[in-house]
């Protein structure tokens, strides 16, 4: 087992152990679980809860480092280089090729934020945001239940 896999296994173990300790603290009465709007909130006052939160935080941070290390070990030829990449010469005219179009919708609470690579994609994302908002409203009102 290389170093990246061992670190990945340790980080996953820490996350699972942290979640298990938080659940155990809840069963012992040291932690309480709430749902504020749509965000789950956990609060506690015992040592088991504190140990679970610390293990969870350190496990998640270690998980990011382990995934990065594993990626670098697996694909060393794709690591960033110090030299400057070659650039295409400028011709002064915009390209006429049909590049990929992209767009997205981000909901912050009930407020949608749309973005896209052009006006057409932006309008499409506004339509997608309206459809998603109507589906969320229908779900919250219990129409599909």
Burial class (CB in 10 A: 0-12, 13-18, 19+), 59: buried
- Model pLDDT, residue 97: 55
Over the stretch 20-76, which tens digit does the pLDDT of each residue have? 998 888 888 888 888 887 777 888 888 888 888 899 988 888 888 887 776 666 655
- Model pLDDT, residue 107: 87
Percent share of the chain, pLDDT over 70: 76
Residue 75 DSSP SS3: coil
- Model pLDDT, residue 96: 55
Q: What are phi and psi of 109, to 5 degrees?
A: 70, -130
- Model pLDDT, residue 81: 55
- The residue ranking higher by pLDDT, 120 or 88, is 120
- Going from the C-alpha of 51 to that of each of 7, 10, 81, 85, the distances in angstroms are 20, 16, 41, 47
Number of H helices, E strands in the chain: 3, 4
pTM above 0.75, yes or no: no
- Model pLDDT, residue 87: 59
Q: Which helix (H) or strand (E) holds 126?
A: helix 119-141
């Amino acid at each position: 087992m290389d170093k990246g896999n061992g670190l990945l296994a340790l980080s996953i173990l820490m996350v699972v152990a942290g979640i298990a300790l938080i659940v155990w603290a809840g069963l012992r009465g040291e932690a309480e679980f709430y749902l504020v709007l749509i965000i789950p909130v956990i609060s506690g006052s015992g040592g088991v809860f504190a140990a679970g939160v610390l293990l969870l935080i350190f496990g998640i941070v270690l998980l990011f480092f382990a995934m990065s290390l594993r990626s670098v070990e697996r694909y060393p030829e794709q690591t960033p280089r110090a030299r400057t990449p070659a650039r295409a010469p400028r011709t002064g005219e915009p390209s006429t090729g049909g590049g990929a179009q992209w767009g997205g919708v981000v909901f912050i609470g009930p407020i949608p934020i749309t973005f896209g690579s052009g006006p057409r994609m932006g309008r499409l994302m506004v339509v997608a945001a309206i459809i998603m908002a109507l589906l969320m409203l229908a779900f919250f009102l219990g129409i599909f239940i």
